[in-house]
Amino acid sequence: MVAMTRSLFWPSLSAAIALLILLSLGTWQLQRLAWKQDLIASIKARSTAEPLTLEEAIRRYAAGEDVEFFPLRLRGRFDHANEKHLYRVETGKAGWRILTPLHTRQGRIVMVDRGFVPDELKAPERRKEGLLEGEREVIGQLRYAAGQGMFTPDNVPQENIWYWPDLRAMARESGISRERLVPFYVEDRNKAVPGGWPRGAPRNAELPNRHLEYAITWYSLALALIGVYVAYVRTALKKR
């Protein structure tokens, strides 16, 4: 009996540790699911609000209020000569988000994410119809710029290749002072663009939410581990 107990000790310990890890991952995904559901509900509620003015958005942002995902109404002129290209893969196709400075009536400058173009349309001269001239109204969604992730490559400003939206660096490359730059950007979801490009995000774009699927996967693996362990112990006892 003592020998049998010793022979099962390490397999049992390994199985217990693995089971604990799998259950922890499943529980973490359920926590992420609750967080994502709250976030989606908050985004939907904000997206139906009346658009903020630029002055109101700046004031509330400066006061420490979370204004991300609120609609924002702007008027200004696009500076297409200084558009920035943010690398993205959308619907399985590599391409670029086009971030263009918008010079507003108030003298502030807002980076506007005008939408996605495939790689072959990266050069502005290949989509001249979409280079809107004159003063324009933009109704979009206010967004905060995400920082560089652990696995995100460094930006290459001198080649106008950006992997994450470093607004200050983009402004420097465009000769825009920090005082004039607004500390957030806007996703343009307003109207169809002549020529079809850039292609903006749909108004009802949904955040991916697969946390329940992931949780079920981890818990299923935990159950499978229990089954394998029980079968192993039974086999070992029969050989005794």
Q: How many Cα atoms sit within 13 Å of 215 on the Cβ side?
A: 12
Average pLDDT over all residues of the chain: 90
Q: What is the pTM of this model?
A: 0.77
Over residues 122-147, mean pLDDT: 92
Over residues 113-141, mean pLDDT: 92
Q: Which of 116, 222, 96 is nearest to 163 (CA)?
A: 96
Separation between Cα atoms, residue 188 and residue 113, nearest integer Å? 6
Q: What is the pLDDT of residue 2?
A: 54
Domain limits, the chain: 2-42+210-238, 51-196
8 Å CB contact between 26 and 223: no
Instruction: Indicate whether 152 pLDDT > 90.
Output: yes
Instruction: Indicate whether 189 pLDDT > 90.
Output: no
Separation between Cα atoms, residue 53 and residue 198, nearest integer Å? 24
